[in-house]
Amino acid sequence: MGVESVWYGYAGRSYMGFFNPSFYQRYLLTPRIYGKFSKTVGYDLSGGVGIQKSDKDNPIKMGGRISPALTFRVNDHFSFGMGYTYYNTAQALGTLRGNAFRVTTDWKF
């Protein structure tokens, strides 16, 4: 269990295209559960739920993310994972929600 906090402010020209708030903040509680199904296959379920606010005049809204993944151990040094991410963040022009497929790698010395 952890806490994620993001704050930023920006004054100037647009640098992110359509989403350019002068102020953004997000606070999420971020639990993570992981383990192994077998010696070579594991699971990783992480996410977050909390509140967020963009620009100073907008209301505080709910925000969150969930990211389940399967991990595969190739040998003692290398593993990779395949997973899915659902996010609900960055509420400046309404709710920004989406889905993403992700591939991860991990190399240990």
* 54: pLDDT strictly greater than 80: no
Report, as an integer, the average pLDDT of 41-68.
Answer: 88
* 55: pLDDT strictly greater than 80: no
Of 23, 28, 92, nearest to 64 (Cα)? 28
> pTM, whole model, 2 decimals?
0.69
Which residues is 47 bridged to in the sheet? 66
78: CB partners within 8 A, 6+ apart: 105, 106, 107, 108
Q: What pLDDT was estimated at residue 14?
A: 58
Of the candidate ranges 47-51, 57-61, 64-68, the one whose mean pLDDT is the lowest:
57-61
- Rounded distance, CA 34 to CA 79, Å? 14
Report, as an integer, the average pLDDT of 72-86.
Answer: 95
**Domain segments of the chain as ranges:** 3-107
